[in-house]
């Protein structure tokens, strides 16, 4: 099994290095095909590992080599494939294989084709380290590694100012959270003496509650950054500047779910501190609603999907926070499939529309792009949670969890958000694929994407449809390591009312969206309508003014304080003091230079003055030595 | 020969420098490379014969210089100094090998070789006077390098560098003399041997004053806030090779001296001053990072980033536990490699455009992709990405200090944020965007000579980031007894508690939210 | 009693003489007063029993040194009044007085040590000259010889310095030569 | 008062020394300066002789001898220099000698 483990882990790295070899040379197909093939290999290895685990073999645990060791600190490169990590591995390798193949077509005309695959495979490698590592330090390697790759890929089109800005924003925001994570790791180390999951979690129950709380808080801060939870969420929408396959892989399916993975992985810790769990769940519910509300009005196709991702991450955190770790993980998996599918479909549309992102400039594309239309519709249905697609099983489960755990406020919020989700998803579908063909105004002739791209997407389509049926197998598997709590609504009547009610509510939202946005005379927002001038709309379209506030109250002051520090503090105070001291000596020299007038008799006078000074010193010191005891007595009398 | 390897390491470059005067001008470059390579090979040989399982000094040589006052020429190497010596040899070699067209190249190479002697001497000296002599001697070649090959403000910069550091050193010298006097008063013998000083258990008040005297000398060299202002000038005006050596090796003298002198000689004072120094270090980290963000000159950015990282090293040193000190020593190496490489990279672009202003660039990623890649790797290392060399040191330093104070470590950890901010911004300004200036359109990418220096550095950066064990093991072997020794030697109860080699805190009481006293 | 009278007498005389030396504006007076003061000082030596020193004092100072000064003064215009533009008299007097007081204070309050022991004690029964000779030519032989060489060097130096251009004299010069020399001197002076 | 002790001589020596100092500081004529220097040296000689006498040690006298020797050399060399200077500048005024201006 170790062989498969290493194959699964390192083949993306090999692929990345291989593509990097062609980094500076012009586009070669091989630089895309080989990494994709290697990822396929990685996927196969992961599948073998999954089968092995499903068939009852225990977790595979290897220790490759020592990384750091000093004093009592010992951190190895250790990898573990257990029920949790194998799930993540499957998701990561599957989605990334699909995305790689898809990207061969998508990036076809791009100059940086080779570079792109190098980065993308490097990302998969980092992600694999993240999920497979058996200790917090290894997790952190992957954590930062995916951050780096995310930076590289968001800023892939580095000539675009907005792209590089978004890349830096993403990296720095993640860094803020990483600090929290680092502190969390330090706390774990100094309290349990190790960073290995197993030993650390084993030692935790004996620790004090305060310590555990702080640990949980700091680790969760790390998770908040990667999973773009409020208030560190702004980078995710801006990250849509990257190529669409990147958005699909990194900013929907894998990297952003790392935070959820962390919480799930650290479930023994969070299990001990239910209060933090409640906090996580509340924040998750808040983000779910908050992000969905922003998605309602946005006019950027990719941003809408990004907000929907954010919203779904909120769902996952609700589940994780309420202790339903397996549910969180399950939703993570299902979400990865349909969200990646949605993004890839959006990529097809973008290609067809020459990188146009505004759905109001599209419409009626279902004729030109049938395949994409079907895929995106199914993905949206899955996202909305309509039976029997994947979203129904995972998302409704979260609602049930909230209900069963008696968190009715969270439940209500989530339910409402489910409606919003259905609305904005189908708003998008309706605007893009139905209604008038508004794109003709811009003289665009849309065309369907390459066939192999659609074929590459089909596994995702398949999974988005049937993922729900794995629920029980999956449950049996992961609950070997995760707490096995099933959530059943007590009375079956309530259950049916809830389920059907939810379904109806969601269906109503979908119909409403269709009705509103498939009209022939749909009004393109131009800032004149009453709704657009309402406060709520402005608030939402400006993302609650949070990016503006960050820019105005964080970035700007930081820049100003920095230059103030430089020009005023560093130069005018610190350095000026140093120069001032030097200057004083210089001035003293200048002034006393007159003493050396060259006039012998004046110099003789100075000489005598010097003699007098020295003699008086001699007298003073002599006297003080002679009368030392008396002086001490006198001084002590004065109270010195 | 192997028993005299340290003396050979010290004096071989100096001898070669003297002989360099008779070498013909055209062949002096290859002569310099040859000498530096031999020196580097010697240092690698030293690593080979060095026994990593021993914690004490190895290859000790002792020759009496002034027996009346106990001044001896004593040199020795342990895990703490070994790698800095290798780093010094490595960088001198790379520096000479990558020298571009320079006026008066013969003098420069001779100066560099002489500088190498002083650097190696500082790290190997085990006698305070010998240490002091090398310490001061190192100023002279650097003064010459900045003053003779520097930019327009070179005279001001070099004089400032010299006088500032020299002033600090004099205070340190007073401390050393007083230390020797105390030793004489206690034992009746004169001695300047550091190892013999170690055995002296000083009263607390003496420790405080001596610590401060030494601190002034070391802190200016590091340079710690607020003694740092000479550094941006020195870096800004120095030629590339000068900046590289200054950042990679010379600054390490200060932090190395903290570990060699301050900690074992004055354990109680070290604990007493731990918080003030940590606060200074944190100011250093955050403040200089912000100043770096405000810079317009890429070299100044790297210079200030250097100061910022030195803050983490100081913090790790004053963690006073094995993890922290090992981390800080490793970070010295890491910072040497990374900031040296960054200065070399800045030199590359300066050679082409004769400007260091970031506004003059933009979009270089498409013009010079290889350059952008190497710069990117080094930048990410500087930012402290895992699996690069810097991360290991930074992680361990902060981890170590976390044991002493939670809140201060949290503040110091801001380093990873502010570091990313200035570095990414600078990178974005230089490499991203479209090419706006016509001069930049046809810049040649890095050439072979430059790659010769940069590729090994990139390899080291990643290699030691993935497999730091080769360094960490000998370092921690030497650090562990040092910490134990400090624990034994400490006289106050607080110091005994603070300096400990135990992994897990004994009392898992409250995790304080405020100050961690 | 006799000693005290002699001491006070000579002390008074010495002070007066030296005071004249430093205050008079006539160089000749100053020289004369100095010579007198030197002789009075030798009186102290005799009182103190340092006969040989007294003799040397008279011989060297009043004989050799004064003669040298007298010769030296021949080069200058001694009749001319010495110009003494004083800046601030109080500073001069004040500083001198202060230093005097300090020195007295140092002696009056013996701070260094009071137990000075004689290394070369005066041996009873031998005359001062004899004793001096014995010490001088045994313990202080090397310094004595060095002093001798120094005197020799000083003598040669004095001759060389003062004797430059001694071969030239106004009597042997031509008229115009003297004229140019005068003009040169005047130019230099002004 | 009538018993003359060491201190009497020391006080005398001090007075003479300060007279010498006044001369040194006051005189503007180089020759006069030399005179003042002689006074300084002699005042010291008195104290040497006195100390020698009162402690019964000949070292003081020895020093006095050497002082005299030095004084003699000084006069010889000094006068030589003085004459050279006078020949060159026709003047021995101190205010005139300011070539050592820093």
What averages of pLDDT result for each successive group of 10 residues across chain C (190 residues)? 88 92 85 90 89 90 83 69 65 82 71 55 71 86 91 88 68 73 62
Which regions of chain D are under pLDDT 50? none
Residues of chain C with C-beta less than 8 angstroms from the C-beta of A625: 111
Domain annotation covers residue C164: yes
Nearest-angstrom CA–CA distance, A179 and A202? 25
Question: How does residue A640 score in pLDDT terms, banded at 50, 70 and 90?
Answer: low
Give the tokens for residue B215: 């601190």
Residue B279 predicted with pLDDT over 90: yes
Instruction: Compute the nearest-CA separation of A590 from chain C (Å).
Output: 23
Q: Do chains C and D touch (3 or more CB pairs under 8 A)?
A: yes
Whether B420 and chain A come into contact, CB under 8 Å, resolves to yes
Percentage of chain B with pLDDT > 90? 61
Whether residues A172 and B475 touch (CB distance < 8 A) is answered with no
Write out pLDDT tens, residues A149-198: 999 999 898 888 889 999 999 999 999 999 999 999 999 998 888 889 88
CA distance C129 to B203: 60
Is D65–C56 a contact, with Cβ atoms under 8 angstroms apart?
Answer: yes
**B293–A179 C-beta distance less than 8 A:** no
Query: Does D63 map to a domain?
Result: yes
Q: Quick one: pLDDT at residue C87?
A: 64
Q: Does D97 touch chain A (CB under 8 A)?
A: yes
CB-based contact D9 C48, cutoff 8 Å: yes
What pLDDT sits at residue B277? 93
Q: How far apart are the C-alpha atoms of A188 and A200, rounded to whole Å? A: 7
The pLDDT tens digits of the residues spanning A454-467 come to 888 888 888 888 88
- B to C contact (≥3 Cβ pairs closer than 8 Å): no
Q: In this predicted structure, what is the pLDDT of residue C120?
A: 65
pLDDT greater than 50 at residue A603: yes
Token pair 């479209």: residue: B434
State mean pLDDT over A523-537: 76
Can you tell me the mean pLDDT for A427-441? 82
State whether residue A588 sits within 8 Å of chain D by CB: no
What percent of the residues of chain A are helix, what percent strand, and what percent coil, each to the nearest 5?
Answer: 75, 5, 20
User: Per residue in A108-142, pLDDT tens?
Assistant: 888 888 888 999 999 999 999 999 999 999 999 99
What is the distance between the alpha carbons of residues C95 and D25, in angstroms, rounded to a whole number? 10
Chain A nearest-CA residue for C106? A619
Inter-chain touch A622–C109, beta carbons under 8 Å: yes
The answer to the question of residue B419 being in a domain is yes
Instruction: Give the Å distances, CA to CA, from B500 to B267, B317, B487, B506, D22.
Output: 12, 14, 6, 11, 70
Q: Which class for A116: exposed (0-12), middle (13-18), buried (19 or more C-beta within 10 A)?
A: buried
**Residues D29-52: pLDDT tens digits?**
888 888 889 999 999 899 888 888
CB pairs under 8 A between A and B: 173
List CB contacts of C15: < 8 A, sequence separation 6 or more.
D12, D15, D16, D19
Domain assignment of residue D82, yes or no: yes
Interface test with B, best of A24, A25, A70 (most B CBs within 10 A): A70
For chain A, percent of residues with pLDDT exceeding 70 = 99
Residue A280, phi then psi, degrees to nearest 5: -60, -45
C-alpha A367/C-alpha A362 separation (Å) is 12
Q: Which chains touch C (3 or more CB pairs under 8 A)?
A: A, D
User: Chain C closest CA to D56's CA: distance in Å?
Assistant: 5
State residue A139's pLDDT score: 92
Beta partners for residue A80, in sequence order: A61
Partners of residue A616 in chain C, C-beta under 8 Å: 102
CB-CB: which of C95, C103, C109 is closest to A608? C95
Largest separation between any pair of C-alpha atoms in chain B: 74
Determine, yes or no, domain membership for D1.
no
Closest partner residue to B416 among A179, A193, A207, by Cβ? A179
What is the least distance, in Å, from the CA of A182 to any CA of chain B? Answer: 8
Note whether residue C155 is domain-resident. Answer: yes
Q: What is the mean pLDDT of residues A272-280?
A: 90
Confidence of residue A547 (pLDDT cuts 50, 70, 90): confident
Nearest to A612 among C92, C98, C106 (CB): C98
Q: Which residue of A600, A602, A603, A619 to mutate against C (max C Cβ within 10 Å)?
A: A619
How far apart CA B495 and CA B488 sit, in angstroms, is 10
**Total domains, chain B:** 1
Domain of residue B355 covers 273-466
- DSSP letter string, B310-366: HHHHHHHHTT-SHHHHHHHHHHHHHHHHHHHHHHHHHHHHHHHHS--BGGG---HHH
Average model confidence (pLDDT) for chain A? 87
Identify the domain containing residue D70 by its residue range: 7-90
Least confidently predicted of A150-154, A556-560, B445-449? B445-449
Contact between chains at B424 and A193 (C-beta distance less than 8 A): no
Q: Name residues whose C-beta falls within 8 Å of residue C189's C-beta, 6 or more positions apart in sequence.
A: D89, D90, D91
pLDDT of residue C169: 64
Around A135, how many Cα atoms within 13 Å sit in the side-chain half-sphere? 24
CB A251 within 8 A of CB A70: no
Minimum mean pLDDT range among A634-638, B146-150, B380-384: A634-638
D97 occurs within a structural domain: no
B448 found inside a domain: yes
Domain that residue C180 falls in: 140-190
Q: How confident is the model at residue B510 (pLDDT cuts 50, 70, 90)?
A: very low
- Whether C92 and chain D come into contact, CB under 8 Å, resolves to yes
List the structure tokens of C190.
């002004």
Judge whether residue B214 has pLDDT over 50: yes
Mark yes or no for CB contact A601/D100 under 8 Å. no
Answer yes or no: do A596 and D100 touch at CB < 8 A.
yes
Are the beta carbons of C119 and A633 closer than 8 angstroms? no
- Cα C133 to Cα C128: distance, rounded to the nearest angstrom: 8
Contact B210, B133 (CB under 8 A): no
Of D21, D94, D102, the CB nearest to A600: D94
d(CA D53, CA C132): 13
In a mutagenesis test of the C interface, which of A597, A600, A608, A610 is the best target, namely the one with the most C β-carbons within 10 Å? A608
Closest Cα in chain A to C108: A619
> Residue C95: which of A612, A618, A623 has the nearest Cβ?
A612
Cβ pair A619:C105 closer than 8 A: yes
Instruction: Check A211 against B468: CB less than 8 A apart.
Output: no
- Residue numbers in A near D99 (CB within 8 A): 598
The four Cα atoms D65, D66, D70, D71 give a dihedral, to 10 degrees, of: -30
Alpha helices in chain C (DSSP H): 2-23, 27-47, 51-57, 66-73, 89-108, 128-136, 141-162, 175-189
pLDDT of residue C80: 63
Using a pLDDT cut of 90, give the percent of chain A over it. 21
Where residue B9 falls among pLDDT bands split at 50, 70, 90? very high
- Candidates D16, D26, D82; nearest CB to C18: D16
pLDDT computed for residue B109 by the predictor: 92
pLDDT score of B505? 44
The count of domains in chain D is 1
> CB-CB: which of B163, B226, B409 is closest to A582?
B163
Helix (H, G, I), strand (E, B) or coil at A367: coil
Q: Could you read off the pLDDT of A338-389 as tens digits, one per residue?
A: 889 988 888 888 888 888 888 888 877 888 888 888 888 989 988 888 887 8
pLDDT at position A449 over 90: no
pLDDT (average), residues B55-83: 90
What is the nearest CA distance from A15 to chain B, expressed in angstroms?
A: 18
pLDDT score at C184: 67
Q: With an 8 Å Cβ cutoff, are A178 and B416 in contact?
A: yes
Chain B neighbours, 3+ Cβ pairs < 8 A: A
**pLDDT for B91:** 93
Q: Of D64, D22, D53, D61, whose CA–CA distance to D39 is shortest?
A: D22
Asked whether residue B167 is assigned to any structural domain, the reply reads no
Q: What is the mean pLDDT of residues B449-465?
A: 90
Position with higher pLDDT, C118 vs A3 = A3
CA distance A585 to chain D (A): 17
Per-residue pLDDT tens over the stretch B120-149: 999 999 999 999 999 999 999 999 999 999
Domain count, chain C: 1
Q: Of A436-450, B324-338, C69-83, give the lowest mean pLDDT range.
A: C69-83
D95·A601 Cβ contact <8 A: yes
- Asked whether the beta carbons of residue A593 and residue D102 sit closer than 8 angstroms, the reply is yes
């Amino acid at each position: 099994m170790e062989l498969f483990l290493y194959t699964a882990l390192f083949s993306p790295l090999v692929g990345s290095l291989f593509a990097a070899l062609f980094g500076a040379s012009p586009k070669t197909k091989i630089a895309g095909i080989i990494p994709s093939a290697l990822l396929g290999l990685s996927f196969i290895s992961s599948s073998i590992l999954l089968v092995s685990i499903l068939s009852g073999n225990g977790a595979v645990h290897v220790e490759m080599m020592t990384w750091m060791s000093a004093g009592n600190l010992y951190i190895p490169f250790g990898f573990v494939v257990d029920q949790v990590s194998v799930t993540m591995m499957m998701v990561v390798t599957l989605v990334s294989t699909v995305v790689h193949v898809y990207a061969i077509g998508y990036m076809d005309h791009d100059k940086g084709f080779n570079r792109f695959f190098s980065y993308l495979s490097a990302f998969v490698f980092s992600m694999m380290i993240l999920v497979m590592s058996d200790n917090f330090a290894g997790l952190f390697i992957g954590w930062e590694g995916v951050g780096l790759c995310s930076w590289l890929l968001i800023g892939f089109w580095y000539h675009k100012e907005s792209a590089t800005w978004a890349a830096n924003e993403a990296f720095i925001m993640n860094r803020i959270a990483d600090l929290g994570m680092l502190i969390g790791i330090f706390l774990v180390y100094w309290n349990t003496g190790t960073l290995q999951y197993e030993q650390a979690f084993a030692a935790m129950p004996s620790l004090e509650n305060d310590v555990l709380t702080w640990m949980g808080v700091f680790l969760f801060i790390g998770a908040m950054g990667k999973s773009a939870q409020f208030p560190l969420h702004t980078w995710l929408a801006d990250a849509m500047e990257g190529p669409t396959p990147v958005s699909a892989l990194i900013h929907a399916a894998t990297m952003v779910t790392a935070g959820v993975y962390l919480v799930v992985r650290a479930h023994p810790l969070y299990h001990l501190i239910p209060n933090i769990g409640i906090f996580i769940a509340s924040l998750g519910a808040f983000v779910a609603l908050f992000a969905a509300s922003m998605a309602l009005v946005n006019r950027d196709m990719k941003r809408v999907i990004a907000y929907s991702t954010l919203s779904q991450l909120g769902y996952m955190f609700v589940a994780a926070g309420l202790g339903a770790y397996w549910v969180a993980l399950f939703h993570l998996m299902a979400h990865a499939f349909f969200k990646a599918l949605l993004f890839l479909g959006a990529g097809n549309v973008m290609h067809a529309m020459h990188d146009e992102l505004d759905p109001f400039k599209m419409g009626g594309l279902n004729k030109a792009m049938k395949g994409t239309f079907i895929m995106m519709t199914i993905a949206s249905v899955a996202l909305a949670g309509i039976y029997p697609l994947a979203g129904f099983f995972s998302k409704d489960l979260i609602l049930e969890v909230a209900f069963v755990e008696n968190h009715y406020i969270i439940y209500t919020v989530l339910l409402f958000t489910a409606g919003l989700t259905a609305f904005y998803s189908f708003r998008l579908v309706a605007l893009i694929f139905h209604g008038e063909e508004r794109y003709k105004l811009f003289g665009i002739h849309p065309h369907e994407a390459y066939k192999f791209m659609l074929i590459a997407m089909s596994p995702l389509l398949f999974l988005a449809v049937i993922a729900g049926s794995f629920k029980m197998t999956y449950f049996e598997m992961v609950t070997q390591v995760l707490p096995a709590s099933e959530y059943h609504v007590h009375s079956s009547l309530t259950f049916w009312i809830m389920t059907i009610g939810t379904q109806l509510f969601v269906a109503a939202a979908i119909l409403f969206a269709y009705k509103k946005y498939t009209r022939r005379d749909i009004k393109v927002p131009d800032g004149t309508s009453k709704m657009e001038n309402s406060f709520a709309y402005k608030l939402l379209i400006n993302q609650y003014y949070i990016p503006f506030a960050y820019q105005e109250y964080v970035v700007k002051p930081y820049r100003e304080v920095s230059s103030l520090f430089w020009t005023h503090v560093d130069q005018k105070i610190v350095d000026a003091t140093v120069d001032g001291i030097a200057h004083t000596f210089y001035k003293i020299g200048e002034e006393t230079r007159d003493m050396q007038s060259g006039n012998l008799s004046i110099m003789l006078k100075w000489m005598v003055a010097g003699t007098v000074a020295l003699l008086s010193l001699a007298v003073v010191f002599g006297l003080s030595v002679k009368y030392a005891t008396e002086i001490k007595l006198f001084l002590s009398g004065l109270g010195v | 020969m192997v028993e005299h390897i340290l003396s050979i390491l010290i004096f071989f470059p100096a001898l070669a420098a003297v002989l360099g005067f008779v070498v013909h001008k055209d062949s002096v470059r290859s002569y310099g490379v040859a000498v530096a390579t031999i020196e580097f090979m010697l240092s690698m040989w030293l690593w080979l014969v060095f026994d990593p399982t021993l914690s004490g000094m190895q290859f000790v040589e002792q020759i009496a210089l002034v027996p009346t006052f106990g001044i001896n020429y004593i040199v020795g190497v342990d895990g703490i100094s070994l790698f800095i010596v290798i780093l010094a040899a490595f960088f001198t070699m790379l520096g000479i090998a990558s020298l571009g067209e320079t006026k008066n190249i013969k003098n420069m190479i001779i100066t560099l070789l002489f500088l190498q002697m002083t650097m190696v001497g500082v790290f190997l000296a085990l006698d305070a006077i010998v240490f002091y002599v090398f310490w001061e001697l190192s100023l002279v070649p650097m003064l010459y390098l900045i003053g003779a090959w520097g930019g327009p403000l070179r005279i001001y910069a070099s004089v400032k560098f010299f006088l500032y550091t020299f002033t600090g050193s004099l205070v340190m010298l007073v401390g050393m003399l007083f230390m020797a006097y105390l030793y004489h008063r206690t034992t009746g013998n004169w001695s300047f041997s550091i190892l013999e000083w170690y055995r002296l258990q000083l009263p607390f008040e003496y420790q405080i004053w001596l610590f401060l005297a030494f601190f002034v000398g070391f802190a200016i060299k590091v340079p710690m806030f607020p003694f740092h202002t000479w550094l941006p000038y020195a870096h800004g005006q120095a030629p590339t090779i000068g900046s590289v050596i200054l950042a990679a090796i010379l600054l390490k003298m200060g932090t190395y001296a903290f570990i060699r002198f301050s900690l074992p000689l004055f354990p109680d004072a070290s604990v007493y001053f731990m918080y003030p120094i940590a606060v200074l270090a944190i100011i250093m980290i955050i403040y200089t990072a912000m100043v770096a963000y405000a810079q317009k000159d890429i070299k100044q950015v790297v210079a200030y980033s250097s100061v910022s990282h030195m803050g983490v090293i100081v913090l790790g040193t004053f963690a006073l536990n094995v993890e922290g000190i090992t981390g800080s020593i490793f970070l010295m190496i890491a910072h040497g490699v990374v900031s040296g490489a960054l200065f070399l990279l800045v030199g590359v672009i300066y050679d082409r455009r004769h400007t260091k202003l970031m506004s003059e660039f933009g979009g270089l990623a498409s013009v010079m992709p290889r350059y952008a890649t190497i710069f990117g790797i080094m930048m990410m290392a500087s930012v402290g990405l895992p699996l690069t060399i810097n991360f290991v040191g930074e992680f361990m330093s902060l981890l170590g200090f976390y044991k002493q104070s939670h809140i201060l470590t949290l503040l110091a950890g801001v380093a990873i944020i502010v570091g990313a901010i200035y570095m990414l911004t600078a990178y974005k300004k230089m490499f991203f965007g479209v090419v706006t200036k016509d001069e930049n359109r046809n810049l040649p990418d890095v050439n072979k000579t430059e790659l010769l220096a940069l590729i090994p550095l990139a390899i080291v950066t990643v290699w030691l980031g993935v497999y730091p064990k080769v360094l960490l093991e000998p370092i921690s072997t030497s650090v562990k007894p040092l910490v134990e020794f400090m624990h034994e030697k400490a006289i106050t109860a607080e110091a005994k508690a603070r300096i400990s080699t135990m992994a897990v805190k004994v009392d898992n009481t409250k995790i304080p939210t405020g100050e961690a006293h | 009693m006799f000693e005290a009278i002699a001491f006070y007498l000579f002390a008074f005389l010495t002070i007066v003489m030296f005071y004249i030396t430093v205050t008079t504006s006539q160089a000749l007076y100053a020289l004369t007063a100095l010579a007198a003061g030197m002789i009075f000082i030798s009186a102290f030596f005799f009182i103190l029993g340092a006969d040989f020193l007294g003799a040397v004092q008279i011989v060297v100072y009043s004989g050799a040194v004064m003669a040298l000064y007298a010769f030296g003064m021949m080069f200058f215009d001694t009749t001319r009044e010495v110009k003494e533009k004083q800046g601030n008299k109080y500073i001069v007097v004040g500083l001198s007085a202060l230093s005097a007081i300090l020195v007295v204070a140092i002696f009056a309050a013996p701070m260094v040590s009071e137990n000075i022991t004689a290394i070369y004690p005066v041996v009873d029964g031998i005359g001062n000259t004899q004793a001096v000779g014995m010490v001088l030519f045994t313990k202080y032989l090397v310094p004595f010889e060095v002093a001798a060489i120094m005197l020799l060097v000083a003598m040669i130096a004095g001759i060389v310095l003062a004797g430059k251009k001694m071969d030239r004299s106004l009597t042997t010069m031509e008229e115009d030569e003297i004229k140019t020399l005068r003009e040169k001197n005047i130019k230099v002076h002004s | 008062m009538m018993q003359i002790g060491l201190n009497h001589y020391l006080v005398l020596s001090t007075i003479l020394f300060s007279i010498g100092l006044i001369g040194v500081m006051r005189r503007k004529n180089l020759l006069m300066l030399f005179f003042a220097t002689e006074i300084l040296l002699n005042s010291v000689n008195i104290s040497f002789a006195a100390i020698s006498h009162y402690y019964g040690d000949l070292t003081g006298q020895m020093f006095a001898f050497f002082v005299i020797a030095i004084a003699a050399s000084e006069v010889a060399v000094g006068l030589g220099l003085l004459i050279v200077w006078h020949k060159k500048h026709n003047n021995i005024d101190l205010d005139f000698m300011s070539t050592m201006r820093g």
